[in-house]
Amino acid sequence: MRMGITGHRGLAVEVERQVRPELAAMVKSLDAADLVVVSCLADGPDTWLAQEVLAHGGRLEVVVPAEEYREGLPIRHRETYDELMRRAVDVHATGLRRSDSHAHLAGSELMVGLVDRLVAVWDGEPASGCGGTADVVSYAERHGGPTQVIWPDGATR
């Protein structure tokens, strides 16, 4: 199974505490020998699912939306990003240089094309700008396989 991940960044710690166990349970229900997660490794759900899959014995492939992507991530997240990049079995790039919303959407579209299923940590609300979680879900519904939405009851962003 090849699964992709998209989700809101900047979620509260309380939401993370609710989402991570759901991701872990989902991953543990799958055969690690055939499990690959494809992620852009943004802070938040992208990273959480990658960590769960690796801990379960699955593999990680990374999509890099732009050459300047890492520099646009929060400083506190860069060490985690670098560690996960070292563990990736394959890296896919969009070929774009500037890390902006259009590159992020291009990266997500590339990711959707590489997976059988998309996992979305999404509140169901429209995207606040180009390339948001809602845009990725919409793209996957039009061009990809099934999407599994995870959003705990009562959670807010």
* pTM of the complete model: 0.94
- Pair of tokens at residue 8: 């809101």
* Predicted confidence (pLDDT) at residue 148 exceeds the cutoff of 90: yes
Q: 2-150 has which CATH code?
A: 3.40.50.450
- 81-128 pLDDT tens trace: 999 999 999 999 999 999 999 999 999 999 999 999 999 999 999 877
What residue ranges do the domains of the chain occupy? 2-150
- 27-69 pLDDT tens trace: 999 999 999 999 999 999 999 999 999 999 999 999 999 999 9
Q: 102-125 b/e with 16+ CB inside 10 Å = b?
A: ebbbbbbbbbbebbeebbbbbbee
Phi, psi of 45, deg, nearest 5: -55, -35
Output 133 or 129, whichever has higher pLDDT.
133
Angle between helices 13-28 and 45-55 in degrees, nearest 10? 40
